[in-house]
Amino acid sequence: MKLHEYQSKFLFRDFGLPIPQGKVATNPSEAYDIAQELGGVVVVKAQVHVGGRGKAGGVKVAQNAEEAKRHAASILGMDIKGLTVERVLIDPGADIQQEIYLAITNDRGAGKPLIMASMEGGMDIEELNRERPDAIVRERVDPILGLRDYQMTYIASAMGMPRALWTSFGRILSGLYDCYSASDAELAEINPLVITGEGDLLAVDGKVIIDDNALFRQPALTKQRDTSGEPDSERQARDAGITYIKLDGQIGCMVNGAGLAMTTMDMTKLYGDADGIGPANFLDIGGGASPEQVAAALRIILSDDNVKCVLFNIFGGITRCDEVARGILTAYNEVNPDVPMVIRLQGTNAAAGNSIISEARIPHIIGAETLTEAAQRAVAAVKERS
């Protein structure tokens, strides 16, 4: 779960990190009041879950409250990469002498927290990593021991941090590590951490991503979830306990298991790409797949108007194909889809499942033995209807 910049920085503040004294506005007059209260130059920053908002015109400097109000009026409601800006952060302008990058993330390969630090902050870290990988200091932390003082000294020294700032940098790094651990973050990033004209460190921008699997013990953070950028269908699926991701193709896919769900999507593209046909979604109904879940999943798939065919690919291991077949019939009677459905049931109780489907004599149902056959038939069904 991604936090907005303002949520990330307010979280940093709870861990003792220095951040600008800004506030959030949802309309231009609020922006005016905040800018007036802060006094002097302010920055008006769009709060949306996409990168590159600066280039898109979502970050503007204002000399006074009047100008802040005008900028807020133009940024609020703006569309940035498909997301509508609903909030702006009004921060006091900072006197920036140097921009630093500092982040803690999970190193999957090592199975350890990884600290990345560079005196060349401000730019996108992926770009910096491509162009000047040596400019980034990397230090892994033993997850049982936690971050040690000697590691902080190593990082400050290796990155070339001015010695006068080692103590305050150490406090920030240790606060960021505490924040990362206590919040179950996948990423806690300050970019840039700036050295101001007065020689102080200040976290000017922040980004935090929380591990979805840990939200059960992060009630305060869970409340901050902003679902406005998410399609309704994905939200409904999450509420129903189904993993669904909307894509651009025409073949709705219902599959058990994430790896097989991706594979089924790939097969529709493999056989359909030449005709511009591909998957309409990723959907994993999981292991149990009760009739209610199958019905919910079918409704979600069909809520996408692009869907011209639904492909069921179920490999029953623990999941029993006869139960899934009953689920499909329940869902069919409830939802009454007018698109063809290709049904491929394989594995545990497949024969029973297939006879339940064929005995129901539903129009537009197409059977298939193998995954290949199923994908090809779904592609053919879409071609026929377009």
Partner 1 sequence: MSILIDKSARVLVQGITGRQGGFHAKLMMEYGTDVAGGVTPGKGGEWFEGKPVFDTMRMAVATTNADVSLVTVPARFAADAIMEAADAGIKLVICLTEHIPVSDMMKALAFCKRRGTRLIGPNCPGLMTPGQAKVGIIPAMVATPGNVGVVSKSGTLTYEVGFAMKNHGIGISTIVGIGGDPVIGTTFVDVLELFENDPETEKVALLGEIGGSAEIVAADYIKNAMTKPVAAFVAGRSAPPGKRMGHAGAIVDGGEGSAEEKILALEAAGARVAANPEEIPGLLA
DSSP secondary structure of 243-255: EEEE-SSSEEEEE
> What is the residue type of 241?
G
Using the rule CB under 8 A, give the single segment among 4-12, 140-148, 162-170, 191-199 that binds partner 1: 140-148
User: Among residues 91 and 186, whose Cβ is nearest to partner 1?
Assistant: 186
Does 189 qualify as catalytic in the annotation?
A: yes
Q: Which is nearer to partner 1, 39 or 140 (CB)?
A: 140
Residues 180-199 that bind partner 1 (CB under 8 A): 181, 184, 186
Query: Under the criterion CB under 8 A, does residue 52 sit at the interface with partner 1?
Result: no
Is residue 351 within 8 A of residue 320, CB to CB? The reply is: no
Q: What are the E-state strand segments in 263-351? A: 281-284, 309-316, 341-347
Choosing from 229, 231, 347, 367, the residue that interacts with partner 1 (CB under 8 A) is: 347
Taking residue 54's Cβ as centre, other Cβ atoms within 10 Å add up to 12
Q: How far is CA 197 from CA 40, 64, 82, 118, 168, in A?
A: 16, 21, 37, 19, 15
Could you tell me the CA-to-CA distances from 237 to 159, 245, 257, 303, 337 in Å, in that order? 45, 9, 15, 11, 18
Residue 162 is a binding residue for partner 1 (CB under 8 A): no
Region near partner 1 per CB under 8 A, out of 52-60, 71-79, 154-162, 314-322: 314-322
If the CB atoms of residues 109 and 363 are measured against partner 1, the closer one turns out to be 109
- What residues pair up with 193 in beta bridges, in sequence order? 100, 203
**Residue 87: both structure tokens together:** 């909030």
- Sequence-separated (6 or more) residues with CB below 8 Å from residue 333: none
Q: Which residue matches tokens 């459905």?
A: 341
Give the pair of three-digit tokens for residue 77: 């409601």
The nearer residue to partner 1, 192 or 257, going by C-beta atoms, is 257
Q: Residue 373 carries which side chain, given as an amino acid letter?
A: E
Residue 32 annotated in active site: no
Candidates 171, 269, 299, 383; binder of partner 1 (CB under 8 A) is 269
Q: How far is the CB of 245 from partner 1 (least distance, A)?
A: 5
Site string for partner 1, 20-39 (x = CB under 8 A): --------------------
Nearer to partner 1, 158 or 318 (CB): 318
Q: Which stretch binds partner 1 (CB under 8 A): 9-17, 96-104, 137-145, 159-167?
A: 137-145
Of 40 and 54, which has the nearer Cβ to partner 1? 54
Distance of CA 310 to the CA centre of its chain: 26
Q: Find the binding residues for partner 1 in span 231-260 (CB under 8 A).
A: 243, 245, 247, 255-260
Taking CB under 8 A as the criterion, the residue among 315, 323, 324, 329 binding partner 1 is 315
Using rule CB under 8 A, residue 217 touches partner 1: yes
Which one is catalytic: 5, 6, 99, 101?
101
Residue 266 in the binding site for partner 1 (CB under 8 A): yes
SS3 readout for 59-87: EEEECCHHHHHHHHHHHCCCEECCEECCC
CB under 8 Å to 232, separation ≥6 — which residues? 303
Nearest distance in Å: CB 208, partner 1: 14
Cα–Cα separations (whole angstroms), residue 326 to 94, 306, 316, 356, 378: 63, 26, 14, 7, 21
**Does the footprint of partner 1 cover residue 168 (CB under 8 A)?**
no
Q: Which residues bind partner 1 (CB under 8 A)?
A: 106, 108-109, 111-113, 126, 142-144, 181, 184, 186, 211-214, 216-217, 243, 245, 247, 255-263, 265-270, 278-279, 282, 284, 315-318, 346-348, 370-372
Q: Which residue numbers are catalytic?
A: 101, 189
